[in-house]
């Protein structure tokens, strides 16, 4: 909830009409990428045997992208509002793959590739349970996101942030705890965790405009009244969420016993759910607007012209 309030405050503070192209810090200055979180030391957490979801190779990431595309395509064809988050997650993962072609990007590429698969599995499980009508298996924060999409209750940016809230503030702490926060030699894995922010920054440069071209034109300039949520603000929001996720993972790892760990887990669930409710309220359609124009735009789009990133996305064989 604290992060949700902070990020909404950040959006309100942005000047009307501000865009990344007009941002004096757009090519890497302090308002675009804030390294302060990278400087915050990790707490000492004992090494642990982490969960293995794949072999850590690039094939791992390719499999994630194929699974994402399989879920995204029917949502995209139906102009389902849930397609917005599915598309942005797909684009982000494709960007991630570009970075990890460099075998030295992370201190342990294979480990982070394994994390990429496990992290995606959390989304797949929530998505598939919701699609099957098995709502009891869907975490509360994801219920807020999926229900808002199903009801056409929020603008495009609301769909983006509701999905990110559920996946980062709810799922990520559990993923980080499961894979382990500390290497066998005692070194923290937070260095690699923080380097992911560089990938998110690169994705944010194009992500909103591409999603706007396919689904909702308001995504190109943000849609909180009186503000413009551009790539800079999105990147700052993601950094804040990811830092909070790391600290919650530390709390899980350092809990003295199972009962204490359960309390931490319940707190994570509750905070993500409350943050989702706050985001839903902030990005809800008003009395005199609604999703009709957005839906008509999506249904009338020219997919040949609205495929800026799809060439890259389809570059991985089925």
What's the mean pLDDT in 120-146? 97
Residue 225 pLDDT: 45
* DSSP classification of residue 15: P
Residue 8 pLDDT: 37
Tell me: pLDDT of 314 over 80: no
The ranges assigned to domains in the chain are 2-12+45-285
| Assigned token pair, 31 | 């308002």
Which range (11-20, 101-110, 155-164, 215-224) has the least confidence? 11-20
What's the mean pLDDT in 245-257? 96
Which pLDDT band, with edges at 50, 70 and 90, does 9 fall under? very low
pLDDT single digits (tens) 168-207? 999 999 999 999 999 999 999 999 999 999 999 888 867 8
CA distance 269 to 28: 34
Q: Is 138 buried (19+), middle (13-18) or exposed (0-12) by CB count in 10 A?
A: buried
Question: What φ, ψ does residue 182 adopt, rounded to 5°?
Answer: -135, 140
pLDDT single digits (tens) 255-305? 999 999 999 999 999 999 999 999 999 999 988 889 999 999 999 987 654
CB-CB contact of 11 with 234 (8 Å) = no
Residue 209 pLDDT: 84
Half-sphere exposure of 212 (CA within 13 A, CB side): 17
Residue 39 pLDDT: 55
CA distance 95 to 80: 23
> pTM of the predicted model, to two decimals?
0.83
Q: How many CB atoms lie within 10 A of CB 299?
A: 9
Residue 129 pLDDT: 97
Residue 203 pLDDT: 87
CB-CB contact of 229 with 222 (8 Å) = yes
pLDDT single digits (tens) 143-160? 999 999 999 999 999 999
Residue 13 pLDDT: 35
Tell me: pLDDT of 161 over 70: yes
Q: Any idea what the Cα angle at residue 171 is, between residues 129 and 179, rounded to 5°?
A: 115
CA distance 20 to 133: 40
Residue 302 pLDDT: 73
Residue 231 pLDDT: 64
């Amino acid at each position: 909830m604290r992060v949700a309030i902070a990020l909404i405050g950040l959006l309100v503070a942005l000047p009307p009409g501000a865009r990344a192209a007009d941002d004096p810090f757009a090519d890497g200055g302090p308002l675009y990428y804030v390294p302060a979180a990278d400087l915050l030391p990790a707490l000492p957490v004992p090494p642990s045997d982490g969960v293995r979801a794949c072999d850590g190779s690039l094939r791992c990431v390719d499999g994630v992208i194929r699974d994402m595309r399989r879920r995204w395509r029917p949502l995209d064809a139906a102009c389902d509002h849930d397609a917005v988050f599915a598309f942005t997650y797909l684009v982000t993962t494709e960007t991630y793959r570009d970075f990890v072609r460099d075998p030295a990007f992370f201190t342990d590429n294979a480990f982070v590739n394994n994390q990429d698969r496990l992290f995606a599995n959390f989304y797949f499980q929530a998505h598939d349970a919701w699609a099957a009508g098995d709502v009891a298996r869907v975490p509360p924060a994801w219920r807020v996101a999926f229900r808002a999409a199903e009801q056409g209750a929020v603008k495009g940016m609301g769909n983006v942030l509701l999905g990110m809230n559920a996946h980062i503030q709810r799922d990520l702490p559990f993923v980080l705890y499961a894979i382990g926060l500390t290497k066998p030699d005692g070194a923290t894995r937070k260095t690699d965790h923080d380097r992911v922010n560089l990938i998110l920054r690169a994705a944010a440069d194009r992500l909103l405009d591409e999603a706007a071209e396919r689904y909702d034109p308001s995504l190109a300039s943000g849609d909180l009244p009186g503000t413009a949520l551009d790539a800079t603000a999105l990147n700052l929001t993601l950094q804040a969420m990811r830092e909070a996720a790391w600290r919650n993972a530390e709390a899980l790892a350092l809990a003295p016993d199972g009962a204490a760990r359960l309390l931490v887990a319940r707190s994570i669930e509750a905070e993500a759910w409350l943050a989702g409710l706050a985001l839903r309220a902030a990005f809800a359609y008003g009395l005199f607007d609604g999703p009709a124009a957005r839906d008509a735009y999506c249904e009338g789009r020219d997919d040949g012209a609205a495929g800026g990133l799809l060439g890259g996305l389809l570059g991985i064989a089925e």
